[in-house]
Structure 1
């Protein structure tokens, strides 16, 4: 065993330490489950037609696609008195809980749709660093237990939160009906409880768990044999070549997206299908910008890093 305490492997955590670091997932799943089970009902209450609801739900996949790589990039490079991941847990929980309180009181359909975007983005801000939290804090032999604990809280939160309006209406006599255009009290109270549980569960994890500072994490990785070699940063020439590749792919994406958009307009398809063409166009534009930045030597920035990671995903 090495005499340098910085070069020890990560210590094993107790059951309750793993419980504490995973408990926040209970709150996150309360947010997701309440959203999935009740938001369509809120939209219909506020006047949305059934055929219009799918387009309102586009927030979920789009915010995940956009927010997760951005939060992943910044949480890897953050360190303050709350740590590396926990600042994002807390910020996302505060925003998501606020959205949960406001959503059932939305005065109009556009406000409810906006709250859905805010809620989805905020939940992703909390959720994305939670996945890395297990890898940061647990030795390799305990990571399966860490992910299993997270899965337990995900399942528990999903079941309880989805059933909350039913339980409040049938067990506690809270009204499950309301005049036209008004969200029932059972749904409102469910969102209030969900917002409270979300925030408290994440606060529990923030203040009942710890994070290792960056130098200690690096020492752990060296001790575990994960940093026996250092990956060299690509050269300017390699960035330039990658930039040319992205410009080519981005141009193809723009052409495909534009032709798809024109073809869809001729076919008079449902408006939801336009999202796919719009997404291709948007991705093509991002690739063009990233490629041009790399070719001009301006590759040391978060935008290029995120686009490269996204572009090179298997």
Structure 2
């Protein structure tokens, strides 16, 4: 196998820049879709169920997109870039129209289309890092992605607050989403499309090493049923490290789905004492929640910058970095229950930001060192199952059942559940013992 050339920081930056737009989409949906649902009359306990279409679609879309991208090659358009483009196109449309929903089913449908479309772009971006970089640069590459994701999270999470500061109305009649949110989603749509196009235009992909073998394999494995059979074969034959990482991912993403679903109702009620969704107090508090959520994006950016510097100079222990980061994030969620002043949320979400930076880099660096290069796309897609299955279980009532059963009825107890889940995720890293994937 030909040794891949080491790339410069700016080459890695260019190939990862599309993640800025992807994260604009994720941050806006994660920070403000529950606010849109509440504005349209959703009960707090119904919010997770309104999110369910998104992870259900990801469960189906990701392995298929990964499988197809592994078997795609065009001399001009490459392997992963066609998926970047079509994912960006549909994501942009869904992101723009989501805040104009006039009924809950419309908002839930917009979220479904948005999440499915982002997924079409996202995992090929993960696979691109593994395609382009030698193993010695994998941690560095995924950390640079995380740096860009942190920038996107911070800016996008603050957009509705910024719109309010420049005079765009933050309140609206009952059942109508405020203009500040609409403007924020429109800006996010533009950033999403243009940043992905930037990566498409500035990044070249490597062709298959053996084009004749690549074409022969495509010819021998034509047909939908053949593809489905191969995907299931890869699932049953996934590497041991992938199964171990899957357990870590399960508890990590259960925690973050809980945050995305319940941070707005939990914090507006527990910290700000605001419950009337048509009131100025609630909308100001919801903007503040977005601002505090932006903190975890900002801190993940700074933490990723530090990791990028360290990973470029010395070898790091991926497992220990991930374990400690997740435990710190878990304590950040738990602290939300105990704070007495809103500004303390910056401390809580700073700790969460450390976990977020690690979640977006370390598992993928470990995974990419344990799978065959020619199956990188399909395994990145299958790996997404460990992200969407916990979200599906959470949406079907797992969050509502567990937080009430373990901690009590108050909605802020969802943050205790998220913190506990993240600490369990951190400890699950102890199951990973293969030094070839834990040390870069």
Q: TM-score, normalised by structure 1?
A: 0.69
Write out aligned runs for 1:89-104 (5 A). 89-104=84-99
Deviation digits for residues 272-308 of structure 1 (CA, Å, limit 9, x no counterpart): xxxxxxxxxxxxxxxxxxxxxxxxxx99711111122
Cα gap change, 1:8 to 1:51, in 2 (>3 Å): closer
**What's the CA shift for 1:8?**
4.6
Cα gap change, 1:299 to 1:195, in 2 (>3 Å): closer
Cα gap change, 1:35 to 1:303, in 2 (>3 Å): same
Structure index of larger Rg = 1
Q: 1:139 aligns with which of 134, 140, 146?
A: 134
Write out aligned runs for 1:3-82 (5 A). 8-80=2-74, 81-82=76-77
Q: 2:143 aligns with which of 148, 160, 164?
A: 148
Question: Retained in 2: the 8 A contact 1:136–1:217?
Answer: no
Q: How many positions carry a matched residue from both structures?
A: 229
Write out aligned runs for 1:172-251 (5 A). 172-215=166-209
Question: Retained in 1: the 8 A contact 2:102–2:176?
Answer: no
Q: Distance between the aligned counterparts of 2:99 and 2:210, measured in 1?
A: 45
> Match for residue 107 of structure 2?
112
> Match for residue 330 of structure 2?
none
Cα-Cα RMSD: 2.1
Q: Distance between the aligned counterparts of 2:210 and 2:128, measured in 1?
A: 15
> Match for residue 306 of structure 1?
231
SS at match of 2:209: helix
Cα gap change, 1:193 to 1:217, in 2 (>3 Å): farther
Q: Distance between the aligned counterparts of 1:300 and 1:125, measured in 2?
A: 21
> Match for residue 290 of structure 1?
none
Deviation digits for residues 124-161 of structure 1 (CA, Å, limit 9, x no counterpart): 11101111101111122222221111010111111111
Q: Distance between the aligned counterparts of 2:122 and 2:211, measured in 1?
A: 21
Deviation digits for residues 179-212 of structure 1 (CA, Å, limit 9, x no counterpart): 1121101100110011110111100001100101
> Match for residue 158 of structure 2?
163
Gaps of 5+ in 2: 214-222, 244-440
Deviation digits for residues 230-287 of structure 1 (CA, Å, limit 9, x no counterpart): xxxxxxxxxxxxxxxxxxxxxxxxxxxxxxxxxxxxxxxxxxxxxxxxxxxxxxxxxx
> Match for residue 125 of structure 2?
130
Q: 2:81 aligns with which of 83, 86, 92?
A: 86
The 4+ residue runs of structure 1 with deviation greater than 3 A are: 216-219
Question: Retained in 1: the 8 A contact 2:24–2:192?
Answer: yes
SS at match of 1:147: helix
**What's the CA shift for 1:218?**
10
Gaps of 5+ in 1: 1-6, 220-297
